Chains A and B, each alone.
Chain A
Amino acid sequence: MTTEQQALGLLQPRLSAAVLKASSLCGGEFNEIRLRLNGPLCLTVSGKTVNCGVICTREDMDSVVRRLCGNSLYSHGDTIKEGYIASAHGIRAGICGRAVTDGGSVSAVTDVSSLCLRIPRRVRGAGDEAYAVLEKGGFSSGLLIYSRPGVGKTTLLRELAVRLAGGARPFRVAVIDTRCELAAGLDGMISADVLTGYPRGKGIEIAVRTLSPEFIICDEIGTREDAEAIRGAAGSGVRFVASAHAGSSRELFLSPIVGGLAETGVFGAYLGLLGRTKNGYVTELTFKKEHAAAAV
C-alpha cells in the first residue's frame, strides 16, 4: 500500500472520495491533506491550496486522530504535546486544538480543530545536487539546506541519506529522525542507522558515542540545544547534513543559531531551496558565511 493510500485510509469514506476527485481534477500529486473543523477539506498540490468541496465535522476530526493513533491516543501523548502525531506509516500530522497547560507547558491537547497530514514521497534525484556539492568538497565538510516551509527540505534530505548510505561510495550515516518523517517510506531501502523519535541533541550524542557515523543527517535545527549538540559532535570529526527554516541566505545568517554554527565552520556550504519546479529545485549555493556577508 502506498503512503497516499494509507493517508486516504485515515479519512472517512466521503472525505477520501472528495480527495481523490479533487486530485484527479487538478492532475497533480498532493503533498498535504488539511482538515479544519467546520471548514473545507483542502489539499496542497505543488504549493497551491485546492478546496475539495466538503466540510469537515467533529466526527471526521476525531476519527482521523483515532486512526492516526491506532486507537491509542495515550501512546502518542508526548508528540501530541509537541503539536504532531507520527503515524506508523510515516505520515506526520500536524495537530492543533485547545491546549491544556500545566505550569506554562502544554500537558494535553483537546478539541482538535486542525489537522495537516503530510504525505512523504520519494522524489528520486532530489538529493543529486546536494550530493554533488558534498562531493566537490571531498566529503570533508557538512552541508546546510535551507528554505521556507513546504519547499522540500525533508524530501531532499531523505534522498541524500539514501545516496550517501548506499551509493557507489557508501558512508556510515546516522539519521536523527526526531519527527518520524525523515526516514518514512525507506524501510529496507536505506543502509543507515535511523534513530526514530529521539530528541535531536540526544540522538546526536548517542549516534556519535555508539554508531561511529561519518555523516549525521537531521532535520529542522533551530534551537540552542541543537546547535550545542552539533558543535560538540562536529569536534569529533563527524560531518553534518542538516536543514533549517529560512527564506534567504541573509535570513539564514542573521539567525543566532545558524550564524553561530557558521562561525565554527561546521557547514562548508549552504544550499538554499528557493522554489520547486517539475524538474527539481531552484537553488542558491553559498560556500561560507563571508560570501553571504558580502552578498548582504
Chain B
Amino acid sequence: MIRICGLILLLSASVGVSFTLIGREAKRIRELEGICELIRYIKNNIDSFLMPLEGIFLSFHSDELEKCGFEAEMKAHGLAAAAGADFLSVDGKALGALSAFAGSLGTGFRDDEVKRCEYYLELFGALAVSEKEKAARNRDMYRYLPPLAALSLILVLF
C-alpha cells in the first residue's frame, strides 16, 4: 500500500515539475510580449498625442502584466519603480533593459522618445523571439525528462 502511494507521489511530482517548467517559460514569454505591448502603447501615445507619462501608464492595460502585479505598481509609482521591483519572471538581461528604458523615458523631445521606444521595442521583440526558440527546444525535455526520471527511480527502488 505504502509502495503504491509512493509510486503515485513520485509520478505526480514528476508531472508537476514538467508542467511547472513549461509554464514558467510560457509566463516569461507572455511577460516579454506584455512589455512589448507597453512600449508600443507608450510610443504611439507620445507620437500621436504627446500624452504625459502618468496618463499613458494609467490608461494602459495588459492581462499578463496585471496578473503579476507589475501594472498596478507602474500605475501607482511609475515604470522605474515597477521595473526595479520583483514582479516579473524575465531574466536579468531583460530586467536591466527595462530599467534602462524606464530611467531614460521622458527626458527628451518627441522624436527622441519615439526613437528610444523603437529601439527598446526591437530589443524586447528579439528577446521574446529568443525565449520562444529556447522554449521550443526545451519543451520535449521538460515534458519527458521528469516523468522518465521518476520512472527510473521507481524501477530502482521497487
Contact = CB atoms under 8 A, between A and B. Distances in A.
A77 B50 contact: yes
Contacts of A74: 46, 50, 106, 108-110, 112-113
Contact of A70 (B54, B109, B110): B54
Interface in B29-79: 46, 50-54, 78
Contacts of B52: 69-72, 75
B54 A77 contact: no
Instruction: Give the residue among B50, B51, B109 with the most A Cβ atoms within 10 A.
Output: B109
A73 B53 CA distance: 10
Nearest to B49: A75
Interface string A39-76: 00000000000000000000000000010011111110
Interface string B86-107: 0000000000000000000111
Classify chain A's interface size: 10 to 19
A218 to B, nearest CB: 25
Nearest to A80: B109
A131 to B, nearest CB: 37
Contact of B109 (A66, A71, A73): A73
Contacts of A73: 106-109
B53 A72 contact: yes
Contacts, number: 37
Interface residues of B, number: 15
Given A77-B109, A77-B110, A108-B109, A70 B53 contact: yes
A71 B110 contact: no
Contacts of A77: 50, 109-110
A73 B105 CA distance: 9
B78 A75 contact: no
Instruction: Give the residue among A74, A75, A77, A108 with the most B Cβ atoms within 10 A.
Output: A74
A75 B51 contact: yes
Contacts of B53: 70-72
B110 A72 contact: no
Contacts of B110: 74, 77
Contacts of A75: 50-52
30 contacts: A66-B106, A66-B107, A69-B52, A69-B106, A70-B52, A70-B53, A70-B54, A71-B52, A71-B54, A71-B78, A71-B105, A71-B106, A72-B52, A72-B53, A72-B106, A73-B106, A73-B107, A73-B108, A73-B109, A74-B46, A74-B50, A74-B106, A74-B109, A74-B110, A74-B112, A75-B50, A75-B51, A77-B50, A77-B110, A108-B109
Cβ-closest 6 pairs across A and B: A72-B52, A71-B106, A74-B110, A77-B109, A75-B50, A72-B53
Interface of B: 46, 50-54, 78, 105-110, 112-113
Interface of A: 66, 69-75, 77, 108
Given A69-B106, A73-B109, A77-B50, 16 more contacts: A66-B106, A66-B107, A70-B53, A70-B54, A71-B54, A72-B51, A72-B52, A72-B106, A73-B106, A73-B107, A73-B108, A74-B108, A74-B109, A74-B112, A74-B113, A77-B109
